Structure 1
Amino acid sequence: MSSAAAQDVPASSTATAAVLHHHTKPLELSTVAIAEVRPDEVRIRMVGAGICHTDPGVIATITDEESPIVLGHEGSGVVEAVGADVTAVAPGDHVVVSYNHCGECDHCGSGLPMHCRHFVDLNLTGLRLDGTSPLTTSDGPLRAHFFGQSSWATYAVANERNVVKVDPSLPLELLGPLGCGIQTGAGAVLNTLRPAPGSSIVVFGVGSVGLAAILGAKVAECATVVAVDIQQSPLDLALSLGATHAVNSAEEDVLAAVRDLTGGYGAQYSVDCIGLPAVVRSALECLQSPGVCASVGFQGTPNEITIDQGHLLFGRSLVGVIEGDAKASEFVPYMIELYQQGRFPFTRFIQTFPFEEINEALAAVHRGDVTKAVLTFE
């Protein structure tokens, strides 16, 4: 990772970051140096940062070549400094930080930043496109630009393109998940599927992403909203948030239950929030014809699934979704507007942990004790 050692500007200040050195070791809170922001960058004092399922996934599979790294990609905070070319935000602004994109490729130019040609390099390597990082340690290079933010630190350096200004009257510490997990679930329904009022939808897996999909289905005025999970407590929460029915797949035949709830036809739409092959298959097979399944669950790669091609005939579709097919600059404000109207109560499934307890928070997530963990900063 020698490319990350080349810093083009001197460090201007320090931050405390949760550094991952090895998948078998807890994160280490370390003092790191922050470089001066580049012309298109923004330095943010973090107020909140979510734990998304992608973060523990990276922790479990990290290699020596990919570490040390600072994770975190659901940040919210206050802008402290901006580069010379930044016009979208100013010091003092409250912001949510979402995924990064180049803003220059054909997909970004056609309104598809979630499919940016440089998405992997900009979001998953922990480095800028030129191989540098805005944070370093006294021991050497550090990957600290995960999803263009690495928000598991007291300060983060992001790009102007992946910060979204928000109303300062809002509970800033809770808004970070709108930049990824909540956006993914709600966007899969509202942006990808776009169900008509009165339609039927099944959501497989009602963690934070699935619950966001449930909220999206209620906003879309779906008449039948079925939550599916293997545990009863998240199903009860889903019912309280607007699901019309709950199916415990550890105790019931999901396909039979969905048929019974939809007049024998099957659902018009479904959302897979798990990514396990058997779940993806069930999410497709529960559909009537025509019907559409949006798959947002991720189990790492490779993740081969086998489906009966007959289930794709006569108009059934299976579509993969990244970041809820959302342009964060538009969709984050939309979700906030719905929240202010009382129609999108995503804060009900958030539990906060002090940043210093990040390892305890990760353990709670791993045990399934919390639906959405958010780290808060003093």
Structure 2
Amino acid sequence: MKITTAVAQKQGANLTIESAELDSPKANEVLVEIKATGICHTDAAGRDYATTPYPVALGHEGAGIVKEVGSGVSTVKPGDHVVLSFSYCGHCENCLTGNPASCIHFNELNAGGRNFDGTHRIHSEGGKDISTFFGQSSFSTYSVVDEHGVTKVPSDVDISLLGPLGCGFQTGAGTVLNALKPKFGSSIAIFGTGAVGLAAMMAAKMIGMDHIIAIDIHDNRLELAKELGATETINSQKRNPEDVVKELLQTGVEYSIDTTGVSPVIKQAVHVLKPSGTCALIGLAGDVTFNIQGEVIGEAKQIIGIIEGDAIPQLFIPKLVNYYKKGLFPFDRLVKYYKFADINQAFEDSADGSVIKPIVKIGN
């Protein structure tokens, strides 16, 4: 079928909205009419850093309505409202033990550009294969997605709002609720108050943590963080977070999260921990140098990497929707909508920090 999709033709170039051909779903796949898709930093990485072979149709926070299902699909049916999330095989040891975000085949399925069977579903009008992104390429009018990447959600919430639950909000909230599992009354420092950091903050508030410390360089975001659950805020351009945390809690915090991927900030996220504390790294990052004895082992600190909030999307995303409906997870306050034609402006607004979570409306 003919679709319209946003494609990165070469490294660093703006996306171009193009006509393309989409194959019919195979036995294990679902055809989804996309209504809206969130923009995440991972999309910018796919555009700029050749994480997936070019040309690539981007988009990995899609939401829409099921139009057709393959013969082997049993979890959704036409007419269902769904959120699209990351791809996982469902068969490896990690998947079978409840950790699909650590799927052994995660990188090839989400960044390799091909579907499960090694073929492509999207093709240019001239017949050239176009890489799929995160198994969905949801900056498109329609997507073909493996059943593992589809989560049914209630139809009484605007489907155009829900796409970011498939990655950014799932990552932030899941890091707290699924991975760290902090105790009631404990303390956490969250570096970066973008979509992921604020989702983590709202999750920390739900648990009832005593100190939820937000660190950022933008005062307007720190003000919003206060409204969403931060008990203390630090502008790291004005004050050293390590000094402020020590003033608040002499021994440091029990948990920290870095969402920035900035090497000096990652070191700060480890330094603010109390002995035996845990730092979760969830931002895209490069090299970081530690004195292992002095900064880590000497105080029994733990540094862990978390992918997609260690979530099982089909179980976790409906819970987040339920929390939203109860007023406990008001992620709609982070959102700004864009027309499909304005997708590159949405990327720019996300990059400069003026918008926390852009959502591109694609369908009617």
Q: Shorter-chain-normalised TM-score: which range? A: over 0.9
Deviation by residue 1:164-185 (Cα, 9 ceiling, x = unmatched): 1010011110101101010111
Measure, in 1, the Cα distance between the counterparts of 2:151 and 2:317.
7
Residue among 315, 318, 341 paired with 1:356: 341
Residue among 297, 301, 306 paired with 2:283: 297
Unaligned runs of 5+ in 2: none
Find out whether 1:29 has 2:17 as its counterpart: yes
CA RMSD of superposed structures (Å): 1.3
1:73 is matched with 60
Aligned residues: 361
* Secondary structure of the structure 2 residue equivalent to 1:126: coil
Matches within 5 A, 1:185-196: 185-196=172-183
1:141 deviation in Å? 2.4
1:143 deviation in Å? 2.9
Measure, in 2, the Cα distance between the counterparts of 1:166 and 1:50.
16
Deviation by residue 1:116-158 (Cα, 9 ceiling, x = unmatched): 1111111012211433111111223233421110001010111
Measure, in 2, the Cα distance between the counterparts of 1:114 and 1:193.
15
1:82 deviation in Å? 0.4
Matches within 5 A, 1:274-353: 274-299=260-285, 303-309=286-292, 310-312=294-296, 313-353=298-338
Find out whether 1:266 has 2:266 as its counterpart: no
1:320 deviation in Å? 0.5
* Greater CA drift, 320-329 or 304-313: 304-313
CA contact (8 A) 1:121 1:129 kept: no
Deviation by residue 1:285-333 (Cα, 9 ceiling, x = unmatched): 001112111110103xxx2111232232332111010000111111101
Measure, in 2, the Cα distance between the counterparts of 1:242 and 1:171.
24
Find out whether 1:39 has 2:39 as its counterpart: no
2:45 is matched with 57
Unaligned runs of 5+ in 1: 1-12
Measure, in 2, the Cα distance between the counterparts of 1:139 and 1:368.
38
TM-score normalized by the length of structure 1:
0.93
Q: Amino acid of the residue matched to residue 207 of structure 1?
A: G
Measure, in 2, the Cα distance between the counterparts of 1:73 and 1:371.
17
1:233 deviation in Å? 1.2
* Greater CA drift, 36-45 or 357-366: 357-366
* Greater CA drift, 132-141 or 204-213: 132-141
CA contact (8 A) 1:70 1:126 kept: no
* Secondary structure of the structure 2 residue equivalent to 1:66: coil
CA contact (8 A) 2:282 2:306 kept: yes
Identity value in percent: 39
CA contact (8 A) 1:102 1:116 kept: yes
1:111 deviation in Å? 1.1
